Amino acid sequence: MSDDQFQRLLSVQDHDTRIDQLRHRLDTLPEQAALAASQQARQQVDNQRETKQVKRLELQRTLKRNEDELAALEDRAKREKDRLYSGEISGTRELLTLQEEVDGLRSRCSDMESDALELMEAIDEIETEVEALATGLESAETAVAAAQKELAEAKAVVRAEIDQESAARSTEAADIGEAALASYEDLRTRMGGVAVARLRNGTCEGCHLGLSAMELDRIRHAPADEVCHCEECGRILVRT
């Protein structure tokens, strides 16, 4: 490999490292977490609304039952009262019994009317809560949409950077031999992403270990086009 190719390989490595960092950033964007938080908040409001709506329906059904029962009782009270004043019954004891029955029915009607009022008030209250939650849900949905937009924008920025780096990498890689590039790729996979390192002041910048004096001497005297590897980590060393 020529000196120029070594420099290009270093440059490819720099671009690859940068691309790895950008991909990591893409996977860990704070906008992603923000979106998840906003979706969770929306879900919470939605659940609360759902619970209130179910409760409202229960109350409405109870009220309906109450009203039906009340109507039946009122009918009965009216019929008994009509009988009381119809003149058909003449016995004092019978009349008294009937009067008591009418009074009892009326008292039950009055209790049921109070119950109905309480139920209506409770329904009104829950109605207000459901409306407030609907408004809350709208804002939560707006927040989710905003978070989605922010995430898409943040992703687009990083992806554009990745595209730029990839293009620059391709340009640099074009002039490196296929075999050297394949060995670089293979080494990169095994070495956690860094396959090429500068040899500076007797130290491999890949593993940060100093090379032995003997090895340094061997590398110094090796032909410039020879591919030398770090004796510690095995990375391709570029003499600087």
Distance CA 187, CA 199 (A): 17
Residues that bind Zn ion (rule: CB under 5 A) add up to a total of 7
* Closest CB 184 distance from Zn ion, rounded Å: 15
Q: 132: how many CB neighbours lie within 10 A of its CB?
A: 14
* Closest CB 234 distance from Zn ion, rounded Å: 7
Distance CA 235, CA 191 (A): 8
* Closest CB 197 distance from Zn ion, rounded Å: 6
Cβ proximity to Zn ion: between 64 and 208 the closer is 208
Measuring CA to CA, which residue among 125, 131, 110, 123 is closest to residue 63? 123
Sheet strands (E) in 55-195: none
Helix, strand, or coil (residue 87):
coil
176, 233, 236, 238: residue in contact with Zn ion (rule CB under 5 A): 233
* Closest CB 151 distance from Zn ion, rounded Å: 39
Question: Which stretch in 17-25, 51-59, 170-178, 230-238 sits in contact with Zn ion by CB under 5 A?
Answer: 230-238
Cβ proximity to Zn ion: between 52 and 235 the closer is 235
* Closest CB 202 distance from Zn ion, rounded Å: 12
Cβ-contact 193, 23 below 8 angstroms: no
Which parts of 174-213 interact with Zn ion (CB under 5 A)? 204, 206-207
Question: Which stretch in 46-54, 71-79, 180-188, 222-230 sits in contact with Zn ion by CB under 5 A?
Answer: 222-230
14, 129, 150, 232: residue in contact with Zn ion (rule CB under 5 A): 232
The residue type found at 143 is A
Measuring CA to CA, which residue among 13, 20, 22 is closest to residue 206? 13
List Cα–Cα distances, 175 to 5, 15, 19, 29, 232, in angstroms: 7, 15, 20, 35, 28
Question: Which stretch in 44-52, 111-119, 171-179, 232-240 sits in contact with Zn ion by CB under 5 A?
Answer: 232-240
Cβ proximity to Zn ion: between 196 and 206 the closer is 206
What DSSP assignment string belongs to 142-181? HHHHHHHHHHHHHHHHHHHHHHHHHHHHHHHHTTS-HHHH
Interaction pattern, residues 107-146, with Zn ion; x per rule: CB under 5 A: ----------------------------------------
Interaction of residue 230 with Zn ion, rule CB under 5 A: yes
Q: Buried b vs exposed e over 39-69: b needs ≥16 C-beta within 10 Å?
A: bebbeebeebbeebeeebeebeeebeebeee
Cβ proximity to Zn ion: between 29 and 207 the closer is 207
* Closest CB 157 distance from Zn ion, rounded Å: 34
* Positions in the binding site for Zn ion (CB under 5 A): 204, 206-207, 230, 232-233, 235
